[in-house]
A and B are shown apart, each in its own frame.
Chain A
C-alpha cells in the first residue's frame, strides 16, 4: 500500500510548485494511474516514491512506514522501475539485464537463471533465443517487454511504471497493455503507472488520479466514477466529451444480465460476448438494428437491445 501525505515539490529558484500537496492512497494489489497534461507533475510524483526525487514537503508511506526509513538504494531494490525510454544496459546481455537486481540482493545463480527464464516466457519471448542476445539486436517492442521483465525480476511487491509502453506503435502498445493486465490479474502487484493518455489510464487503472498543471490533484477515483461523475470542468474536458462512450467501453457484453433470446434472430447482428458495450453500440447503429444477438462459441447466450444500452449510459452505476 502506498500513501501520499501532503506531498509537495518545489525546485529551488522556482516560484511555483511542481507537485502541490498531493494526498491519496493506493490500495495493495491495485494499479493507480497518474494521468494529466504536461507539467502536471505526474512523473515527478512517481519518482518521489522511490526517492529518485525527494519531496520538499510531506511524506510518502509504504505499508505504513515512511519511505525514508531506509537508504534510497535499498528502497529502490525493492521497487520495480520501468521507464519510457527503457534504458536497457547496452553492454549486457538480456539475461544479465534482467538479473541485475536479483544479483544485487544476493540471489543464487540458479535461482536467477530460472527466474529469468520464467520472466522471458511471461513476456512472450523464447528464453533460449533471447537469453544471450544484446539490446541492440531487439526491436523496440521487444526491448520494452524486457524492460518490464527486468522491473519484475526480483518480484517486488510494488512497481513504478512511467509510460512503459510509450516507445512503440499503437498496435503493439495495445498488445503489451493486454499482456500486462493479464499478468497483473495473476500477480496483483501494487503499481503506480504514469501516462499522458486518458484511454490508457482507463484501460489500465483500478484507480485514476487526474492531475492538473502545477501538480494539483483534480480527481481520484475509479475510472467508472470519474467518467460518470467528473467533478470539474477540467476533468470533464480532460476525459473527453465522449466520456459516455468511454464508460461503455469499460463493460463487456458478456458481463450483463442479457434478455432471453426473443424468437426471430434472423438479420440481427451477432455480437461476441467479449465485445465491449461501446463496440456493440457501434455495430448495432451501423447495422441499423434495435436489437442484437449475443453469442459465445457457437451458442446463443441472449439478446441485447439499444434501449438497455441507453439505460446503462444514462445512470451512474456505483
Chain B
C-alpha cells in the first residue's frame, strides 16, 4: 500500500495536479479577499449595511460546496474557470463576516478619540480601524483558505483537474493506494495552509493587542 502511494507521488502528472490545486485555492482566496474586504470597508460605518453583509455571509456559509460547483457547471462547463468562480463564492462568506464584524468591533471611543484629535476619515481607517481589526480579518481569511483547499478537491467533477482526480481514479480502479495518495495530499495542503496562516496571523497582530488578549485570558 505504502509503495503504491509513493508510486503515485512519483508520477509525472502528480506535480501538475498539486499545482492546479494550489492555483485554484490561492486564486479563489485572493479573489475572495479582494471582493469581501472593500465591501466590509464600505459598510463599516452603517449598522444596517454591516448587518446585511453579515447576514448574507452567514447564509452563504450554509451553501454546500458541491452545490456551488454544480451551479456554475451548466453555465461554464468543464475546466478551470467554473471551479474558480465557485470556490471564490465559497471563500467570500467567512472573510466578509470577519472583516465586517472586526471593523465594527473597534471600540467606539477609540474612533471618537481619533476623530476628535484630528485624524481624517482615511487616516482613522488606515491607522486605527484596520490595524485593530487585522487579527479578526486574518482569522476569517484563514478559515476561508482552509475551506477552499478542502473543497478544491471536488473540482474534479467539473473537470477542474486538481487532487480530487486521484481520489476519483483510485475509487473507480479499486486502488486504495492512489486514493490515499490523493487524500493525504489534500490533508497535507490543508494543514500547511493552517500553519502558514497561524504564522501570518501572529505577525500581523499588533503587539499592543496581543498584550491586551493575554491580559484578558490571563
Contact = CB atoms under 8 A, between A and B. Distances in A.
B110 to A, nearest CB: 5
B11 interface: no
Interface string A47-77: 1001010000000000000000000011111
Nearest to B216: A136
A89 B115 contact: no
Interface residues of A, number: 33
Interface residues of B, number: 24
B51 interface: no
B116 interface: yes
Contact of A136 (B113, B114, B208): B208
B120 A73 contact: yes
B118 interface: yes
B116 A91 contact: no
Interface string B117-159: 1111001000010011000000000000000000000000000
B207 interface: yes
B114 A89 contact: yes
Tell which of A50, A73, A76, A87 has the most Cβ of chain B within 10 Å.
A87
B118 A73 contact: yes
Contacts, number: 83
A134 B115 contact: no
Tell which of A79, A134, A137 has the most Cβ of chain B within 10 Å.
A134
Tell which of A77, A92, A101, A151 has the most Cβ of chain B within 10 Å.
A92
Nearest to B135: A91
A193 interface: no
B109 to A, nearest CB: 4
B107 interface: yes
B34 interface: no
Given A77-B117, A101-B117, A91 B206 contact: yes
Contacts of B208: 89-93, 134-136
B215 interface: yes
B112 interface: yes
Contact of B110 (A76, A84, A88, A93): A88
25 contacts: A73-B120, A76-B118, A77-B117, A79-B118, A81-B113, A84-B109, A87-B110, A87-B111, A87-B112, A87-B113, A87-B114, A88-B110, A88-B113, A90-B110, A90-B209, A90-B212, A91-B209, A92-B206, A93-B208, A101-B117, A101-B118, A134-B207, A134-B212, A135-B208, A137-B215
Interface of B: 107, 109-120, 123, 128, 131-132, 206-209, 211-212, 215
Given A52-B112, A76-B118, A160-B116, 11 more contacts: A73-B119, A76-B116, A85-B107, A85-B109, A90-B110, A90-B132, A91-B132, A100-B119, A135-B208, A136-B215, A147-B113
Interface of A: 47, 50, 52, 73-79, 81, 83-93, 100-101, 104, 134-137, 147, 150-151, 160
Can you list the 10 inter-chain pairs with the closest CB atoms, starting with the nearest? A87-B113, A77-B118, A76-B118, A81-B116, A91-B206, A136-B212, A87-B109, A85-B109, A134-B208, A91-B208
